[in-house]
């Protein structure tokens, strides 16, 4: 047989085997089928030490028993941040009675402008139960961002005193036991996010 045909057949067979393996993995009994990216067992973003807009120190353990969605942003963000918070408010509504078991956390990457008062007003415009958090210092924020694999950078504006912030746009989702489980891309469908959170609340 032509060597080229043999090679093509081998490649095709390999592709079929890989596809079959993927199907078998996806169909493993007892394994939850999340819509977001499953990062269960990740060795980063395991906890934090921040302060909420009421001045109360917070760690992940404070929210045990709830699914937690954690997002990094800033209140003067023109698009990504308000869009994400609006979508999270929709997710909470879609959860129905379980909406109270969802805690959304917004970590400020712009503490210079995001004072506790500003954070409280901003979060309240989306949902009164959402919490705004801030780090104790710029160094603490940088260390947290590194641990959470979050990029952010101050960008000069059109005037000497104005600026904006470039930043990562993903959210992290924790289960009620405080374990990091999912990476949610910016723009994820709220219905699919709600489905994933329902699985986590159900013990997945």
Q: Is the pLDDT of residue 155 over 70?
A: yes
The pLDDT tens digits of the residues spanning 85-95 come to 999 999 999 99
CA distance 50 to 24: 42
Mean pLDDT of all residues belonging to the chain? 88
* Strands annotated E in 49-179: 50-52, 57-58, 67-73, 102-108, 131-134, 152-156, 163-167, 171-174
190-201 and 80-94 helices, crossing angle to 10°: 50
Q: What is the pLDDT of residue 30?
A: 67
For residue 196, give every residue at least 6 positions away whose Cβ sits within 8 Å of its Cβ, in sequence order, or none: 34, 35, 36, 173, 182, 184
Q: Give the predicted TM-score (pTM) of the model.
A: 0.84
- Of 22-36, 59-73, 123-137, 158-172, minimum mean pLDDT range: 22-36
Share of the chain above pLDDT 90, in %: 81
Quick one: tokens of 57?
């120190």
How much is the pLDDT for 31? 75
Higher pLDDT, 125 or 16: 125
């Amino acid at each position: 047989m032509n060597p080229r045909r043999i090679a093509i057949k081998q490649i095709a067979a390999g592709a079929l085997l890989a596809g079959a393996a993927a199907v078998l993995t996806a169909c493993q009994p007892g394994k939850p089928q999340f819509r977001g990216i499953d990062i269960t067992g990740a060795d980063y973003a395991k906890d934090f030490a921040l302060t909420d807009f009421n001045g109360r120190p917070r760690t992940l353990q404070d929210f045990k028993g709830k699914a937690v969605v954690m997002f990094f942003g800033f209140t003067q963000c023109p698009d990504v941040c308000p869009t994400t918070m609006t979508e999270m408010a929709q997710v909470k509504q879609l959860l129905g009675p379980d909406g109270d078991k969802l805690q959304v956390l917004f970590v400020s990457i712009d503490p210079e402008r995001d004072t506790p008062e500003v954070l409280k007003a901003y979060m309240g415009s989306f949902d009164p139960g959402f919490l705004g958090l801030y780090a104790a210092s710029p160094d603490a924020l940088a260390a947290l961002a590194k641990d959470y694999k979050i990029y952010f950078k101050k960008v000069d504006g059109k005037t000497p005193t104005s600026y904006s912030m470039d930043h990562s746009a993903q959210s992290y989702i924790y289960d009620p036991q405080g374990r990091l489980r999912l990476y949610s891309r910016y723009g994820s469908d709220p219905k699919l996010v709600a489905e994933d959170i329902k699985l986590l609340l159900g013990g997945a």
